[in-house]
């Protein structure tokens, strides 16, 4: 990526830099590849990043949005998304969040338990309306990703177990203020191999037959998100392979006449368009190592500390032709505040600018005020 380094030199670090052109190119690719299949509809999983400019660009591209909190629904409404393009998932929806969704007439509540169904039915009755719901089913498919971002195994807290589906559907038939419109799935995030998605299709095919045997016709199948991006080689693979991803579903899922297939893509939409830009504060000589101490840390980008994730580190301003091994760390008082060990980088000095690449998803949005640090701003 060509960073506007001379502009960066004038700015206070750390900040998130977003590349509008790459985001737009990614959205164009998504729309082009999805439009090969008339039944496909793509939502953006806004939990990956709610920067207001970013949301505006996503909205203009025509995608809907997938929310996991009432605050996210508010952010999407503020960004101008129509309620009929908003879906809402989450294992723990508060009453005010459900009421907000009902008042606004959002497209669908993705429901994760019978307890929640009963509350939605009651709140919808109070509001004098009927809620459209999809049941989030846990398909027990192993996403082979980090355990904190695996969501489709029976042992995870998400979704309704497959074997409980018939009884939940029987229950829905007794509720007068919810209408079952679909099934919802989301097996995990940062999947680089596509076989778990193929497996998911097989599960869904079987479940659809069972649901239809209970006399239910579904308007939508929602398969969530999960497509990963290339953190090791962001310049070689700036846009994930959406063609292959959509083709898996086109080839393996048996959709019914008139049925829509919904996707909720988060990371794959926004990951590569963002970088966290920091300055080198010090090069510290250890006994056996050199530490590159940045002015950005885990409060700004927590993925390395939380998921043992690795973001490619690029020194943007070094004029040295030599390389040095560094442990690249932040200023926070935690040993997990480390972006990389033994990184072979151009020899750097105090004041050099560094980019932590592929930080557009689950970066700025997961930033915290730990150590009283401010949330890094956005630069476009």
Ligand X SMILES: *Cc1c(COP(=O)(O)O)cnc(C)c1O
Cα 332–Cα 295–Cα 322 angle in degrees, nearest 5:
120
Please, which residue, 66 or 314, has the CB nearer to ligand X?
66
Which residue from 178, 201, 189 is spatially nearest to 261, judged by alpha carbons?
201
Per CB under 6 A, residues contacting ligand X are: 45, 47-48, 66, 68, 89, 186, 189, 224-226, 264-268
* Beta-bridge partners for 314: 355
Q: What is the DSSP letter of 195?
A: H
Please, which residue, 109 or 326, has the CB nearer to ligand X?
109
Please, which residue, 79 or 89, has the CB nearer to ligand X?
89
CB of 168 to ligand X, least distance (A): 18
What is the radius of gyration, based on Cα positions, of the chain?
22
CB of 184 to ligand X, least distance (A): 7
CB of 271 to ligand X, least distance (A): 8
Cβ count near 334 (within 10 Å) = 14
CB of 288 to ligand X, least distance (A): 38
Instruction: Provide the Cα torsion 370, 376, 377, 380; round to 10°.
Output: -150
CB of 272 to ligand X, least distance (A): 13
Please, which residue, 72 or 314, has the CB nearer to ligand X?
72
Please, which residue, 48 or 315, has the CB nearer to ligand X?
48
Please, which residue, 66 or 300, has the CB nearer to ligand X?
66
CB of 302 to ligand X, least distance (A): 15
CB of 200 to ligand X, least distance (A): 13
Helices and strands (H and E) in the chain: how many = 11, 17
Is residue 355 within 8 Å of residue 313, measured between CB atoms? yes
CB of 191 to ligand X, least distance (A): 8
**Locus of tokens 């429901």:** 111
Token output for 323:
């390389």
Distances (CA, A) of 160 to 50, 62, 200: 28, 31, 15
Please, where are the H alpha helices in the chain?
5-9, 20-34, 52-61, 70-78, 95-104, 114-126, 165-173, 195-213, 242-252, 267-270, 303-307
Please, where are the H alpha helices in 15-164?
20-34, 52-61, 70-78, 95-104, 114-126
CB of 281 to ligand X, least distance (A): 32
Please, which residue, 45 or 359, has the CB nearer to ligand X?
45
Q: Is residue 124 helix, strand or coil?
A: helix
* Burial of 366 (C-beta count, 10 Å sphere; 0-12/13-18/19+): middle
Token output for 95:
């009453």
Please, which residue, 191 or 294, has the CB nearer to ligand X?
191
Please, which residue, 62 or 374, has the CB nearer to ligand X?
62
């Amino acid at each position: 990526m060509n960073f506007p380094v001379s502009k960066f030199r004038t700015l206070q670090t750390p900040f998130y830099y977003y590349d509008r052109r790459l985001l737009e190119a990614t959205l164009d690719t998504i729309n082009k590849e999805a439009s090969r299949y008339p039944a496909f509809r793509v939502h953006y999983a806004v939990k990956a990043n709610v920067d207001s400019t970013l949301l505006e660009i996503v909205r203009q591209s025509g995608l809907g949005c997938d929310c996991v909190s009432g605050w996210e629904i508010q952010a999407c409404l503020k960004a101008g998304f129509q309620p009929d393009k908003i879906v809402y998932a989450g294992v723990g929806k508060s009453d005010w969040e459900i009421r907000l969704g009902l008042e606004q007439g959002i497209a669908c509540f993705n429901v994760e338990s019978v307890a929640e169904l009963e509350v939605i039915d009651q709140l919808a009755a109070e509001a004098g309306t009927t809620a459209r719901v999809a049941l989030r089913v846990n398909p027990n498919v192993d996403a082979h990703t980090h355990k904190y971002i695996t969501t489709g195994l029976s042992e995870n807290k998400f979704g309704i177990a497959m074997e409980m589906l018939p009884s939940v559907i029987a229950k829905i038939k007794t509720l007068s203020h919810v209408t079952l419109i679909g099934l919802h799935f989301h097996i995990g995030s940062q999947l680089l191999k596509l076989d778990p998605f193929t497996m998911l299709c097989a599960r869904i095919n079987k479940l659809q037959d069972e649901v239809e045997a209970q006399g239910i016709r579904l308007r939508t199948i929602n398969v969530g998100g999960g497509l990963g991006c290339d953190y090791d080689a962001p310049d070689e693979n700036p846009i994930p392979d959406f063609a292959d991803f959509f083709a898996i579903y086109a080839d393996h899922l048996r959709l019914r006449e008139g049925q829509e297939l919904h996707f909720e893509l988060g990371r794959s939409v926004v990951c590569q368009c963002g970088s966290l830009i920091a300055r080198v504060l010090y090069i510290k000589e250890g006994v056996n190592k050199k530490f590159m101490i940045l002015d950005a840390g885990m409060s700004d980008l927590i993925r390395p500390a939380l998921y043992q994730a690795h973001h490619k580190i690029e020194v943007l301003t070094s004029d040295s032709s030599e390389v040095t091994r560094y442990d690249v760390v932040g200023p926070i008082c935690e040993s997990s505040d480390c972006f990389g060990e033994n990184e072979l980088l151009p020899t750097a000095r105090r004041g050099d600018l560094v980019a932590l690449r592929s930080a557009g998803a689950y970066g700025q949005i997961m930033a915290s005020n730990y150590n009283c640090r401010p949330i890094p701003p956005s630069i476009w």
